[in-house]
Amino acid sequence: MATTVKSNNKAVQVLVSSTFAFTICFAIWMMFAVLGIPIKKQLGLNETEFGLLAAMPVLSGSLVRVPLGIWCDKFGGRIVFFLLMLATVVPIYLIGLATAYWQFLVLGLFVGLAGGSFSVGTPYVARWFPKERRGLAMGIFGAGNSGSALTKFVAPAIIAAWGWQSLPTVYAVAMLVTALAFWAFSASDPSHLVSGTVTFAEQMKVLKDRRVWRYCQYYSVVFGGYVGLALWMTKYYVAEYGFDLRLAALLAACFSLPGGVLRAMGGWISDRYGAYKVTWWVMWVCWVCFFLLSYPQTSMIIKTVKGDMVMNLGLTPWMFTVLLFVVGTAMAIGKASVFKFIGDEFTDNIGAVSGVVGLAGGLGGFILPIMFGALVDLTGVRSSAFMLLYGTVCVSLIWMHYSFPPAEKAPAATAVAA
């Protein structure tokens, strides 16, 4: 009995320390969502260049997810997580000294390593919990995505008080303190390590499993779309509605905050109703919201018997923000439900699979801001970003419909009936 209590206490300790560390890592990973706006103005960047700048950390943070997930299986999550955070401290600080566009891009790649913390923390946390509680545990850890909202609350105030160059210094100190705190309060369990006889090639055999590619596509929508919008929305509010940086960041946080915090609720819902049903409804909610968000600000002249009548159609800032909140909530639940699939179906290889799926989601978050900027430069229509996302959700719904035979859908229906 005492051993069980001690084990449960360690599991909670690991979950809390890992979630806090991931929150700080994610806040720093998303720093260019706010920091990029004064840099864009200073360097005179166009929309596509801004999109590349904002997305650069996402690229490296995505590419390292597969090796990090495998190293977590082999060496343990605690040591990999700790060293990963330490590796980003100096590059974060150097951003405040950069002056050229290429320097920001290069440093952004190194700072982006912080985003790889997800593929370390997920298997690290998951192995401390039994299967029936794993969805909730991974959901709580994934709530560290709320670090994106943290950046939107904190960064504008720091920039307004001391200039944008001060933000990297503050974040570098925060990362160093977080790394030391994580090491002090986390724990290790040698039984969680994958046998040393398992080779890289054997772990990567998961790529031959069609289920992995299916979950990669879903995650590229719910996580990649979340990251892309989290990077883009502050800029969108400034350009579309003319808000200042502080108000724009605050309203953008109405998307980022539920998109992170409610992931824990998504884990609980997925444990209760099944990953398939939850993911299915998440996609439908996103489909409806993106359809409405896609409609651009429009003015029409209608010929009437009394003369011309001008009609203006478009979302007000508050209607827009409410829809974003709904999308953020749906994506939070969807991120948890996709990883519930992984936790249930790949128990013995969570690190490698979560790394591959996380890579797909991260690459979605890298590509989308660049495509958002390119679409604006090409069409001049800012809502084209949501048109693109609407198309990706359509693909997910079609693929999901034809990927799951009735026999696989039945457990979800049974869970609801119970």
Read off the pLDDT band of 46 (50, 70, 90).
very high
Global pTM?
0.79
Q: Which residues pair with 307 in a beta bridge?
A: 304
159-191 pLDDT per residue, tens: 999 999 999 999 999 999 999 999 999 988 777
From the list 358, 259, 305, 325, the residue with the least C-alpha distance to 58 is 358
| Secondary structure percentages of the chain, helix, strand, coil, to 5 | 85, 5, 15
Would you call 308 helix, strand, or coil by DSSP? Answer: strand
Break the chain into its structural domains and give their ranges: 9-185+202-417
pLDDT at 309 > cutoff 90: no
Helix ranges restricted to H, 223-349:
224-241, 245-261, 263-273, 275-293, 317-345
348-391 pLDDT per residue, tens: 677 678 778 878 888 888 999 999 999 999 999 999 999 999 99
Rounded Cα distance between 70 and 204, Å, is 9
CA atoms within 13 A on the CB side of 330: 24
H or E element that contains 61: helix 47-63
Query: Across residues 60-78, what is the average pLDDT?
Result: 84
Q: Which residues pair with 301 in a beta bridge?
A: 310
Query: Across residues 232-240, what is the average pLDDT?
Result: 92
Rounded Cα distance between 92 and 175, Å, is 9
From the list 281, 396, 404, 275, the residue with the least C-alpha distance to 340 is 275
Would you call 303 helix, strand, or coil by DSSP? Answer: strand
Domain topology for 9-185+202-417: Growth Hormone; Chain: A; (1.20.1250)
Instruction: Indicate the average pLDDT of the chain.
Output: 86
Amino acid 417: pLDDT = 37
pLDDT at 333 > cutoff 70: yes
Structure tokens at 323: 């829809």
CA–CA distances in Å: residue 289 to residues 256, 308, 331, 338, 386: 16, 32, 12, 20, 9
Q: What is the CB neighbour count within 10 angstroms for residue 239?
A: 14
From the list 196, 194, 187, 195, the residue with the least C-alpha distance to 125 is 187
126-157 pLDDT per residue, tens: 888 887 777 778 778 888 888 888 999 999 99
The answer to whether 249 touches 34, Cβ cutoff 8 Å, is yes
